[in-house]
């Protein structure tokens, strides 16, 4: 299966996005595909995804090959961004092996009434370039299932060299409880943090992300309570009475630096509670 085929068979992040923290930790993964579609083809591509691609994604979920799937379209990604869509596929463990050619072709005909080759030709008529990242989900906080119209703030960070283990501990033991309180208070819908496995190395632009899902733009831009005893600082002291919120922020600053923050709109979803 070629790269576009593997990426787009269930076409259309995390942000999508995650399952809740469980008593026994399960190692979960996320495949994120960055897609460039020319503006004059975007409407037709979205129609194809919503009427055909989501069926393939849902079939993958129904048969246990993946856990959830979403397609995001750029809202605010900034200058120099060479992609305008992100596909997110989450897995409850390592991704399964590819289907055999025969099983794959039978599935395509049964689910969408098209041959695999015809599907690929149609898909590649929209897409001009793709790239992908495979990550481990290090921590997450469940909430409302992602729905069309939700917004996802993706923060891409570069971990300080030699501090990966410390960063992972900071995310799991400090950032995750704080974000769980944020979901509980309705500041955002859900949260997840990932660390890239492939590609990796000194030359990659970023090697970890956090994703906050918001119901709408009003929730995304809400500055939160002005009272210092409320909001993130108040929530942190509530969770860790003997700890300093400013020390938590400073520790995060030393462990990683923010490369970029982007805002994406969910335009298609598939999953157990897909809308």
The residue extents of the domains of the chain are 1-159+188-216+260-275
pLDDT at 274 over 70: no
pLDDT at 191 over 70: yes
- Residues 34, 81: contact at Cβ < 8 Å? no
pLDDT at 264 over 50: yes
Q: At what angle do helices 245-255 and 231-239 cross, to 10 degrees?
A: 100
The CATH label, of 3.30.70, 1.10.3470, 1.10.730, 3.40.50, for the domain at 1-159+188-216+260-275 is: 3.30.70
pLDDT score recorded for residue 225: 63
pLDDT in tens, 145-190: 999 999 999 999 999 999 999 999 999 999 999 999 999 999 999 9
Instruction: Please list, in sequence order, all residues whose beta carbon lies within 8 angstroms of the beta carbon of residue 202, skipping any fewer than 6 positions away.
Output: 161
Our measurement of the distance from residue 45's CA atom to the centroid of its chain's CA atoms, rounded to an integer in Å, reads 20
Task: Using pLDDT thresholds of 50, 70 and 90, give the confidence band for residue 224.
Answer: low
pLDDT score recorded for residue 97: 97
Q: Is 78 exposed, middle or buried (0-12, 13-18, 19+ CB in 10 A)?
A: exposed
Instruction: Please list, in sequence order, all residues whose beta carbon lies within 8 angstroms of the beta carbon of residue 271, skipping any fewer than 6 positions away.
Output: 16, 58, 61, 67, 68, 69, 70, 145, 146
Segment 96-102 mean pLDDT = 96
pLDDT score recorded for residue 25: 64
pLDDT score recorded for residue 228: 54
Task: Using pLDDT thresholds of 50, 70 and 90, give the confidence band for residue 19.
Answer: very low
Helical spans, DSSP H, in 98-163: 101-112, 116-124
pLDDT score recorded for residue 143: 93
Cα–Cα distance between 255 and 242 in angstroms, integer? 21
Pair of tokens at residue 76: 């605010």
- Residues 89, 9: contact at Cβ < 8 Å? no
pLDDT in tens, 197-207: 999 998 999 99
pLDDT in tens, 43-79: 999 999 999 999 999 999 999 999 999 999 999 998 8
Pair of tokens at residue 80: 């120099």
pLDDT score recorded for residue 78: 86
Segment 122-139 mean pLDDT = 96
Length of the chain: 275
**Cβ burial 24-44 (10 Å sphere, 16+ → b, else e):** eeeebbbbbbbbebeeeeeee
% residues pLDDT > 90 (the chain):
81
Residue 161: how many CB atoms within 10 A of its CB? 7
Residue 93: DSSP 8-state = S
pLDDT score recorded for residue 11: 43
Segment 7-36 mean pLDDT = 61
pLDDT at 29 over 60: yes
Pair of tokens at residue 52: 């055909």
Mean pLDDT of the chain: 89
């Amino acid at each position: 299966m070629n790269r576009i085929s593997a990426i787009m068979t269930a076409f259309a992040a995390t942000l999508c996005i995650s399952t809740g923290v469980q008593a026994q930790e399960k190692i979960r993964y996320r495949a994120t595909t960055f897609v460039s579609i020319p503006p004059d083809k975007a409407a037709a591509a979205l129609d194809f995804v919503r009427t055909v691609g989501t069926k393939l994604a849902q079939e993958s979920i129904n048969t246990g090959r993946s856990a959830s799937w979403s397609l995001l379209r750029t809202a605010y990604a900034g200058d120099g961004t060479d992609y305008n869509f992100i596909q997110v596929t989450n897995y409850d463990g390592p991704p399964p092996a590819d289907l055999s050619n025969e099983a794959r072709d039978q599935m395509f005909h049964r689910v969408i009434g098209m041959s695999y080759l015809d599907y690929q030709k149609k898909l590649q008529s929209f897409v001009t370039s793709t790239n992908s990242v495979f990550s481990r989900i290090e921590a997450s906080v469940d909430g409302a299932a992602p729905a069309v119209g939700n917004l996802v703030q993706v923060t891409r960070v570069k971990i300080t060299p030699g501090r990966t283990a410390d960063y992972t501990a900071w995310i799991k033991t400090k950032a995750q409880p704080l974000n769980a309180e944020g979901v509980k208070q309705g500041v955002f819908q859900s949260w997840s943090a990932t660390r890239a496995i492939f590609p990796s190395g000194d030359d990659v632009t970023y090697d970890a992300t956090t994703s906050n899902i918001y119901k709408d733009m009003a929730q995304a831009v809400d500055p939160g309570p002005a009272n210092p005893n409320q909001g993130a600082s108040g929530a942190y002291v509530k969770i860790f009475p003997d700890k300093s919120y400013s020390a938590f922020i400073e520790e995060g600053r030393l462990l990683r630096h923010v490369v970029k923050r982007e805002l994406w709109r969910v335009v298609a979803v598939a999953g157990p509670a897909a809308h």
